[in-house]
Amino acid sequence: MAIIEGTFVNSSSLRVAIVIARFNDLITNKLLSGCIDCLSRHGIDVSESSEQLDIAWVPGAFELPIVSQALAKKEKYDVVITLGAVIRGDTPHFDVVVSEASKGIASVSRETGIPIIFGVLTTDTMQQALERAGIKNNLGWNYALQAIEMGNLMQVMS
């Protein structure tokens, strides 16, 4: 019997791209800080001269799939992390943006074979988004952990 799973012990060869939305950047910048902190504490070089980490900015969550797709197709990264925040209270087309972002990200992941982490907060209020971006917990940290596990898993399986 084979147990196939990703680990967190050796991230020295992991190549990571983050695609982050500027919309609600009060929230997305906090997610980015949490994400980078977790990557760094797992041994990934997050310095400006890093060969392991690139960061791409897009206008909003709707644009996350197309840029994730372009990066995944480069065959340069083991995993792509998307970061965004869509808040229902302020967003009449909440459902459209969330649906396109989530479906697009899932489809890019399947099409390219590169794991794309869904790091888009979808909340009813700004307060809830703030709580998930640092006031209570910073989910950016969790998204980075999930990226390390998936990136490592794909390396193990290749």
Helix, coil or strand: residue 133? strand
Q: What are phi and psi of 42, to 5 degrees?
A: -105, 20
- Work out whether 105 is an interface residue with ligand INI (CB under 6 A): no
Is residue 71 within 8 A of residue 56, CB to CB? The reply is yes
Alpha-carbon gap, residue 61 to 40, rounded angstroms: 25
E strand map for the chain = 16-21, 53-58, 79-87, 116-123
User: Residue 130 burial (CB < 10 Å; 0-12/13-18/19+)?
Assistant: middle
- We find the least distance from the C-beta atom of residue 22 to ligand INI, in angstroms, to be 8
- Work out whether 67 is an interface residue with ligand INI (CB under 6 A): no
- Work out whether 59 is an interface residue with ligand INI (CB under 6 A): yes
Q: How many residues lie near ligand INI (CB under 6 A)?
A: 16
- We find the least distance from the C-beta atom of residue 45 to ligand INI, in angstroms, to be 28
Q: Which of 14, 15, 24, 139 binds ligand INI (CB under 6 A)?
A: 24
In the region spanning residues 78 to 97, those forming contacts with ligand INI, defined by CB under 6 A, are 84-87, 90-91, 93, 97
Is residue 16 within 8 A of residue 147, CB to CB? The reply is yes
- We find the least distance from the C-beta atom of residue 107 to ligand INI, in angstroms, to be 17
Any idea of the CA torsion for 95, 98, 64, 41, to the nearest 10 degrees? 150
Which of 93, 103, 110, 136 is catalytic? The answer is 93
- Work out whether 128 is an interface residue with ligand INI (CB under 6 A): no
Sequence letter at residue 69: Q
- We find the least distance from the C-beta atom of residue 149 to ligand INI, in angstroms, to be 25
Residues with active-site annotation: 93
Residues that bind ligand INI (CB under 6 A): 21, 23-24, 59-63, 84-87, 90-91, 93, 97
